[in-house]
Amino acid sequence: MTKPRILVTRAVFSEVLDHLGEYFEVQSNQADEIWSKAQLVERLHGKLGALTTGSERIDTELLAASPMLQICANMAVGFNNFDLDAMTELGVLGTNTPDVLTQTTADFGFALLLAAARRVTEGEHYLRAGEWRRWRYDMFAGAEVHGSTLGILGMGRIGQAIARRGAMGFEMQVIYHNRSRLAPDVEAHSCARYVGKEELLRSADHLVLVLPYSQQSHHAIGAAELAMMKSTATLVNIARGGIVDDLALADALGHGRLAAAGLDVFEGEPTVHPELLALKNVVLTPHIASATIPTRKAMAMLAAENLIGFLLLGQPVSPLNPQVLGSPQQVQRKGRATGTPAG
Ligand code: 8YV
């Protein structure tokens, strides 16, 4: 019997390809070429599933041009590269990779917070430039982290993991704001207190953003919000570019209205706003919060398990739009793939 055909859009661990190869005929991209939309559509021809990353935009145009495609398994917890409404409407399942990256990403949030607040990279650049000639009492004096107030905007799994690190490891008072308040037991486990957004902005010594990107969260931190923050505060964004108005942030950092920032994500990445690049009081990293080998393997394997679970057993592990399962549009796509007309 011929195996179902799938596409893996970017380079991935060879063991993940081997695992997928047990069940599917796999077209991969180990050269890690960046395909145009037309090239992606061309390669999706005849494919039942795709292992995607945040780099591929999955929208109506692509789905309409790929009539056999039934699932896009994103190797990411975030899925703002998916037009999920269009996927649901056109009968295509989307899956993501929750849980497996929570702790690793929370670790990195803290790495950026510490590096920005304690001016780690600024000090390193100074040293490497050969400018360090003597000690001075206030040289690269930064903000206190332990015992300070940690604010978290977006209190999902990663936000909760950051909160616990702050409260238990650094004896911080943790406050959070979220679309909906956590259940009392979850809140207690996170050692965090719920506050309104304005109180969060005004009270936090360090503010970490961990909310998903959507039209509603676009520029959730803009000039007005930055103006409410303490001038001694640190802002960390490990969520998505576009949640922060990067130009307004650069202006606040450049004029001393905010002490420091740590950014792993940017509006229009991989391009970074030149005004941010010119500043010393911002730590910039290339979207690597989940980048450890064990975590990236776990993410890729979970995406693979979603493809296997759904295409072979009809049971995805972490579906984003489970209402698609068994929908007439999805049955129609299945019918096209097997050559059995639906209905
Ligand atoms: C990914 C991420 O590396 O999971 C996410 O949402 O932002 C990162 O862990 C990136 O999206 C690649 O797909």
pLDDT value at residue 340: 72
pLDDT value at residue 339: 81
Q: Is 269 a catalytic residue?
A: yes
Per cent of the chain over pLDDT 70 is: 99
214, 115: one domain: yes
Residue-wise pLDDT for 320-332, tens only, equals 999 999 999 999 9
Judge whether 64 lies within some domain: yes
Does residue 238 have its Cβ closer than 6 Å to ligand 1? no
Q: What DSSP designation does 72 have? A: E
Beta strands 71-74 and 49-52, pairing class = parallel
Tokens of 303: 């995406």
Residue-wise pLDDT for 238-276, tens only, equals 999 999 999 999 999 999 999 999 999 999 999 999 999
132 lies in which domain range?
Answer: 102-284
- Strands laid side by side in the 71-74 sheet: 25-27, 5-8, 49-52, 71-74, 93-95
**3-state DSSP percent of the chain in helix, strand and coil, to 5:** 40, 15, 45
pLDDT value at residue 100: 98
pLDDT value at residue 259: 98
pLDDT value at residue 342: 54
Does residue 51 have its Cβ closer than 6 Å to ligand 1? no
CB 164 within 8 A of CB 140: no
Half-sphere exposure of 197 (CA within 13 A, CB side): 13
Q: Is 57 a catalytic residue?
A: no
145, 248: one domain: yes
Q: In CATH, what number is assigned to the domain containing residue 41?
A: 3.40.50.720
- What average pLDDT does this structure show over 210-217? 96
CB 289 within 8 A of CB 106: no
List all residues 6 or more positions away from 17 whose beta carbon is below 8 Å from its beta carbon: 8, 26, 28, 30
| Ligand 1 atom 1 nearest Cα | 76
Tokens of 80: 């703002």
Does residue 101 have its Cβ closer than 6 Å to ligand 1? yes
228, 240: one domain: yes
List all residues 6 or more positions away from 314 whose beta carbon is below 8 Å from its beta carbon: 325
| Ligand 1 atom 8 nearest Cα | 76
Atom of ligand 1 minimally distant from the CA of 289: 9
Strand partners, 153: 177, 209
60, 151: one domain: no
Q: List alpha helices for 258-340, DSSP H.
A: 274-277, 293-313, 328-338
Residue-wise pLDDT for 49-101, tens only, equals 999 999 999 999 999 999 999 999 999 999 999 999 999 999 999 999 999 99
Residues making up the chain, counted from first to last: 343
129, 215: one domain: yes
CB 180 within 8 A of CB 125: no
CB atoms near residue 309 (< 10 Å)? 18
111, 230: one domain: yes
Q: What angle do CA 140, 244, 10 make, to 5 degrees?
A: 100
At 294, which amino acid appears? Answer: P
Catalytic residue among 165, 240, 273, 296: 240
CB 6 within 8 A of CB 25: yes
Beta strands 260-263 and 71-74, pairing class = unpaired
Q: Is 42 a catalytic residue?
A: no
Does residue 259 have its Cβ closer than 6 Å to ligand 1? no
148, 223: one domain: yes
259, 170: one domain: yes
88, 117: one domain: no
Tokens of 44: 């999706």
Q: Which of 266, 284, 302 is the last residue of a domain?
A: 284
Angstrom CA distances, 268 to 32, 250, 322, stand at 20, 15, 30
Task: Please tell me the total count of domains within the chain.
Answer: 2
113, 59: one domain: no
Catalytic residue among 25, 89, 199, 269: 269
175, 320: one domain: no
81, 156: one domain: no
Judge whether 343 lies within some domain: no
Res 206 pLDDT > 90: yes
Per cent of the chain over pLDDT 90 is: 97
The single residue listed with the structure tokens 């179902």 is 4
Does residue 76 have its Cβ closer than 6 Å to ligand 1? yes
Angstrom CA distances, 241 to 24, 30, 213, 264, 273, stand at 35, 27, 8, 8, 11
- Output the CA 238–ligand 1 centroid distance in Å: 10
pLDDT value at residue 171: 98
Residue-wise pLDDT for 21-35, tens only, equals 999 999 999 999 999
Angstrom CA distances, 229 to 31, 144, 188, 224, stand at 45, 16, 26, 9
Residue-wise pLDDT for 276-302, tens only, equals 999 999 999 999 999 999 999 999 999
pLDDT value at residue 1: 75
Q: CA-to-CA distance for 283 and 123, rounded, in angstroms?
A: 11
